[in-house]
Structure 1
């Protein structure tokens, strides 16, 4: 009788050690997530998150990415978001700065190390600006004037408390990045930051589930509806995320002694959704800005300015139909934009030319890159529609169902669900690879 190789997870000292280290670091991260920033007033923070405004909606996105640490305003209030922002900025700068692009093309390995180094260095100023921005934004949203127990600033003897608050927030972000690196090095390989974000997202599930149970509605019916919607959404996410368009590639034969081997036929897999969940976060951020700006002019003495500010707040409120429509369009546009940037960095045309490979019927070099660009844009249309639908479904249910349960029905947000599914899938793939390296047959692993 064959036993599943998954039993090996707990009998292998090496694999069990990696899993336990990963779990231990994630528990440590969640403990650190409850350490408050010095001088913070949590009651004022709680009142801000109870508001119905574009700014609180934007803060909800960041709170999701940080795993609820923003609503607690802990030292991990920014999560690893400044690092992700720095990573995106560096990626966007590569095709713009010729020296960086040349470095990546000449020596990809050294180029990646350089990018990682600059990403970490850029995280510090990005974290500082983010900390200052968060505190100022929260202060603007509270009626009490400040979320801190002192006046934020460098004057009137408040320099040391202010610096302590900012340094603790930036230090919390660097702590989260360090813990992620520890997971990648000693735990599950290459999954550190992904698992850090994953742990934060799933930590919100119990509270959302509790909101449904105490809603006073038909709890059993809502739980069944929630299970069906989640199952269908997860199925679609996995189906699309795994989707590939295999472009045939012909690699030249090699000379072995006096013989020439036959050309090798292979495929170049192009992802349907290359952008991941980044367009969702960017779209929510951009759509929240008009409402935030409008708050400063809503009480203006100029009539037309006050009316415009009121219109902006109503239009860009997450509870309006127009917000859902604009959000849908923005997600699609940003998916195309971000995919274009990432795909250009791959430079498949030049790389295939260097290897002597060719797509049948397509000239090497620029013609190959242009052909692949056209193929990628066509399949990106499917990925963009997928992201836009998944992103707006929670808002559609928020319009249909009662406000207290409309968005809780998904347990996590759309971008959070994509992250959770992706991280779980990648983690299982890595564990399977580890088990194969330890000599277990693929048929036993898959049961």
Structure 2
């Protein structure tokens, strides 16, 4: 493996791509520190720490690498571009023109969809930037400081221009990394934004050890547990079900072609991280709305907010249900077994023991549903893990028996189940899947570049496989 890393810098083209990628990622992180004019960043950070850590703003702050909490020029992050791409994926199901571009347009069709995605990204940026500017105008930190000292028309115009330009520049950086770097530009920028928070999390953990609120033995257990979780994710992200496909022999001119046997890989987790993103986005909306000052003064709103707050049993239940539902929904959009069955029949392919046509599509549906069931359980476990570690498993809102169960656990000295460990389990849920998945894909792409130039990869026995096979 050491020789493989040395080979990375022996190849001039690959060395240039790696250095170019690191340079643009450095530009991205520098931009994430430049504040937007007219905004008190300290007052905004104070507000985020107290109110918005687990809401929809905290979720978007994760993808912006902490830039939203400081309202820097990159506060919108790459999420508008990702949202635009998701919208066009959904439009491909209901709009025949987009569907034709996706399926029959080839390289030119993908180029047009990318162009449309850029236009939609700018529109989304303008709308979000305008909403943020009006939201910040009347925002007051817990200490009483106003986030915007002098709100005016010029402030709104400047904020919209700066945030839109910043997000558009991030989109350009990502596309440049994909084209001239080592690939996966958008994913690498999200990866960089998430990983940059690892150092503060480690520092906070050791501060807890010094203060005596956390033992060193627990820290070692946490580190070992995180390694096990990462290994678990790597295993599931690489797992596939290989469906055998046989092509019939046929005569083309005076040659006999076909007859080969191949495999079609069905990923164990075909939806990736998207179901979690959808679930968090939808579940975070009521959390944010119920905390608005206009509604928070009503007693029944406060009661409802206590039921759906981050870490409660109600929150965990709906979080798990939404992840499972969106997992089935998203995969049904991006993968159509009927199209695959029709293409196999068109080119003379078939699954051994299964008749072509409807029988093949039914078989693929059954296989996919079984994989999605396992994938839903996997995504729910990974997503709920950090919540339970940080806040515990509160039972007070369990109707009828909640208080009794809590008293019983406390009597048996199992109250750690209720209060959690208050650990800085930074890599959890969405962030953990992104970090591991992007690392796997990047290693696979770099290894492919090495093997293409007749160098050995990172492993002599077998190639490193990413999420796409």
TM-score normalised by structure 1 residue count: 0.89
Cα separation, partners in 2 of 1:146 and 1:339, compared to 1, 3 Å: farther
1:195-221 per-residue CA deviation (whole Å, 9 max, x = no partner) reads 111111000001111111112223422
Q: Give 1:181's match in structure 2, choosing from 175, 180, 190.
A: 175
1:289 aligns with 2:285: yes
Cα separation, partners in 2 of 1:167 and 1:366, compared to 1, 3 Å: farther
Q: How far off its partner does 1:346 sit?
A: 8.9
Give the corresponding residue for 1:12: 11
Give the corresponding residue for 1:26: 25
Cα separation, partners in 2 of 1:5 and 1:70, compared to 1, 3 Å: same
Structure 2 portions without partners, runs of 5+: 393-415, 463-469
Q: How far off its partner does 1:265 sit?
A: 1.1
Give the corresponding residue for 1:209: 202
Give the corresponding residue for 1:429: 444
Q: Distance in 2 between matches of 1:123 and 1:222?
A: 45
User: Which SS does the other structure have where 1:412 is aligned?
Assistant: coil
Give the corresponding residue for 2:408: none
Q: Distance in 1 between matches of 2:73 and 2:285?
A: 25
1:349-392 per-residue CA deviation (whole Å, 9 max, x = no partner) reads 23223322222343434443333222111101111111111001
- 1:213-224 alignment to 2 at 5 Å? 213-215=206-208, 216=211, 217-224=213-220
Q: How far off its partner does 1:254 sit?
A: 4.5
Residues 258-267 or 323-332, more deviating: 258-267
- The answer to whether the 8 A contact 1:290-1:312 is kept is no
Give the corresponding residue for 2:410: none
- 1:101-112 alignment to 2 at 5 Å? 101-112=99-110
- The answer to whether the 8 A contact 1:244-1:272 is kept is yes
- The answer to whether the 8 A contact 1:212-1:222 is kept is no
1:414 aligns with 2:429: yes
Q: How far off its partner does 1:21 sit?
A: 1.1
Cα separation, partners in 2 of 1:117 and 1:262, compared to 1, 3 Å: closer
Q: Distance in 2 between matches of 1:277 and 1:253?
A: 40
Give the corresponding residue for 1:155: none
Query: How many corresponding residue pairs?
Result: 432
Q: Distance in 1 between matches of 2:359 and 2:268?
A: 21
Q: Distance in 2 between matches of 1:299 and 1:443?
A: 55
Q: Give 1:172's match in structure 2, choosing from 159, 166, 174.
A: 166
- The answer to whether the 8 A contact 1:67-1:200 is kept is yes
Cα separation, partners in 2 of 1:203 and 1:292, compared to 1, 3 Å: same
Cα separation, partners in 2 of 1:425 and 1:77, compared to 1, 3 Å: same
Structure 1 portions without partners, runs of 5+: 152-157, 301-305
Q: Distance in 2 between matches of 1:264 and 1:66?
A: 47
Q: How far off its partner does 1:291 sit?
A: 2.4
- The answer to whether the 8 A contact 2:277-2:430 is kept is yes
Q: How far off its partner does 1:270 sit?
A: 0.8
Q: Distance in 2 between matches of 1:330 and 1:319?
A: 15
1:283-322 per-residue CA deviation (whole Å, 9 max, x = no partner) reads 122112222222345455xxxxx34312221111113222
- The answer to whether the 8 A contact 1:139-1:145 is kept is no
1:270 aligns with 2:266: yes
Cα separation, partners in 2 of 1:72 and 1:359, compared to 1, 3 Å: same
Give the corresponding residue for 2:187: 194
- The answer to whether the 8 A contact 1:213-1:219 is kept is no
- The answer to whether the 8 A contact 1:324-1:396 is kept is no
1:29-54 per-residue CA deviation (whole Å, 9 max, x = no partner) reads 1111101111111122112112146x
Residues 434-443 or 411-420, more deviating: 434-443
Q: Which has the higher contact order (CA 8 A, sep 6+)?
A: 1
TM-score normalised by structure 2 residue count: 0.85
- The answer to whether the 8 A contact 1:281-1:415 is kept is yes
Give the corresponding residue for 2:364: 372
